[in-house]
Amino acid sequence: MNNWYLHDGLVFRNGRLLKEDILILKGRIAAFGSEAARMRRECSVPIRDYDAGSCVVSHGFIDLHVHLREPGFESKETIETGTKAAAAGGFTTVYAMPNTEPPLDSVERLFELKERIRQSAFVGVEPIAAVTKGRAGGEISDLAGLVHHGVRLFSDDGDPVESGIIKGVMEQLASINGVLVNHLEEKSLLRSGLFWDAVPPESEYIMLERDLTLVAETNCRYHAAHLSCARSVELIGKAKQEGLPVTAEVTPHHLTLTKDDIAFPEGNYQMKPPLRTEADRLALIEGLRTGVIDAVATDHAPHGREKDGVIYPDSPFGVTGLETAFPVLYSNLVLTGRLQLERLLAALTTGPGKVAGQSGELKIGEVGDIVVLDLECRRTVEADKFFSRGTNSPYIGQKFRGWPVLTLVNGVAKYSAGRPDPKHSKEAH
């Protein structure tokens, strides 16, 4: 069933929330408002009516930064489990980082990955390709070939692009309309440890300064991954004022937690970049509010049970995020008056859409990628309810308000009132 009449919801489009109905026919948005109601009455095909009263209806969320782990690390996550988690979180498109085994670094591997996605993904998956072969930092991948086959974003995420090659990478990407997504971490400034004291803010912003200078020289489209400190927000703001083609993202955990929140099990608060100070957190919120930061991205990084207990020196970095992103941000930022709901929704739809070259806007004729959010729904985060294989979340046991209740991809329900609809799982990709 890909015909829907979503009625009485508060619909987010053109940057505003307005009570109106939406009609979706054959998986595409057919009409809004009174025109939708009229067409619904006159339509002879079967249509599913959905009461979206007390809910917000938005374009499905777009996540520019997830780790699906497949191929290579299927004990942590697969394309299937990761995209079920995405659907449950209201995400209809996720951009998958290439730190898999093998990494996505060639056209041949792109085809292999696309076949896996075709077979098992519950939502749209757009691969991000590695900047260098094997993500090894030396030889540059076939960027032009990958762009030719539809890749737009490039990253060696987990590792930054080294000084010796980054200018050449930017020059190439500028000429083929690719986007460099850099993981900002100047390794020479790292110290031993797992948290803020080991990965100081300078390791991020000194590299960002280097990159922005090169953006000015090459005019490469540049996207700064997971900003974590106040100085980085300042630098992006200044670069935008100067008209440089830069964008930036921030994660839910950096917007809602600081180093002072770290508790047992500490592995669930251990990620790169690390949690920092309250001043940094407030600067990130302000950056998001003013539009200096374009997008919320989860940096969903599932791991197995190895982060459950006492932390150890090689404990892997990263936390899961797809299933909790909206309720965590709505409860922490919108209900507290720090951020407008419209701004949060834009940062999950049109903001990332603009970075990646997709619309993210509800429009007549567009595919029905939609999330319905119940703003009254209150739920406690429980690890054993996750669709993700990763349970490494700092929010386990906490109660949040505002949960996705229906996710449509191409007009097909991929998540509904608690579980993905397996009947329809093969219909749309």
- Residue reference for tokens 């540049």: 222
Q: Does 77 bind Zn ion (CB under 5 A)?
A: no
Q: How far is the CB of 183 from Zn ion (least distance, A)?
A: 4
Q: How far is the CB of 105 from Zn ion (least distance, A)?
A: 17
CA torsion 411-413-416-421 (nearest 10°) is 180
95-134 residues near Zn ion, rule: CB under 5 A: none
**Closer residue to Zn ion in complex, CB, 2/203:** 203
Q: How far is the CB of 92 from Zn ion (least distance, A)?
A: 23
Q: For the stretch 23-32, what's the b/e string if a residue is b when 16 or more beta carbons lie within 10 angstroms of its beta carbon?
A: bbbebbbbbb
Q: What is the DSSP letter of 100?
A: S
Q: Does 21 bind Zn ion (CB under 5 A)?
A: no
**Closer residue to Zn ion in complex, CB, 64/225:** 225
**For the packed helices 278-290 and 230-241, what is the interaxial angle rounded to 10 degrees?**
30
Cα separation, 113 vs 104, whole angstroms: 8
299 catalytically annotated: yes
91-96/124-127 β-pairing: parallel
Taken in order 359, 212, 168, 107, is the CA torsion positive or negative?
A: negative
Q: Is the peptide bond before 273 cis (omega within 30 degrees of 0)?
A: yes
Q: How far is the CB of 181 from Zn ion (least distance, A)?
A: 9
Answer for which of 126, 157, 186, 294 binds Zn ion (CB under 5 A) is: 157
The answer to whether the beta carbons of residues 21 and 37 sit under 8 Å apart is: yes
Instruction: Please count the residues of this chain forming the interface with Zn ion, following the rule CB under 5 A.
Output: 3
Residue nearest to Zn ion (CB): 183
Q: Does 63 bind Zn ion (CB under 5 A)?
A: no
1-20 residues near Zn ion, rule: CB under 5 A: none
**Closer residue to Zn ion in complex, CB, 249/421:** 249
Q: Does 183 bind Zn ion (CB under 5 A)?
A: yes
Q: How far is the CB of 271 from Zn ion (least distance, A)?
A: 9
208-227 residues near Zn ion, rule: CB under 5 A: 225
**Closer residue to Zn ion in complex, CB, 346/355:** 355
Q: How far is the CB of 157 from Zn ion (least distance, A)?
A: 4
Cα separation, 149 vs 327, whole angstroms: 36
- State the binding string over 225-244 for Zn ion (x if CB under 5 A, else -): x-------------------
The answer to whether the beta carbons of residues 227 and 250 sit under 8 Å apart is: yes
Q: Does 186 bind Zn ion (CB under 5 A)?
A: no
Cα separation, 181 vs 220, whole angstroms: 11
Q: Which of 63, 280, 299, 374 is catalytic?
A: 299
Q: How far is the CB of 229 from Zn ion (least distance, A)?
A: 14
Q: Which stretch binds Zn ion (CB under 5 A): 66-74, 145-153, 155-163, 323-331?
A: 155-163
Q: Which stretch binds Zn ion (CB under 5 A): 44-52, 129-137, 150-158, 283-291?
A: 150-158
H/E run at residue 181? strand 179-182
Q: What is the DSSP letter of 309?
A: S
Q: Which stretch binds Zn ion (CB under 5 A): 39-47, 182-190, 232-240, 394-402?
A: 182-190
The answer to whether the beta carbons of residues 293 and 224 sit under 8 Å apart is: no
The answer to whether the beta carbons of residues 131 and 167 sit under 8 Å apart is: no
Taken in order 22, 25, 26, 30, is the CA torsion positive or negative?
A: negative
**Closer residue to Zn ion in complex, CB, 65/221:** 65
Whose CA is closest to 368, among 331, 409, 337, 332? 409
**Closer residue to Zn ion in complex, CB, 229/345:** 229
Q: Which stretch binds Zn ion (CB under 5 A): 40-48, 181-189, 260-268, 274-282?
A: 181-189
Whose CA is closest to 98, among 127, 55, 124? 127
Q: How far is the CB of 199 from Zn ion (least distance, A)?
A: 11
338-397 residues near Zn ion, rule: CB under 5 A: none
What is the set of active-site residues? 299
Binding site for Zn ion (CB under 5 A): 157, 183, 225
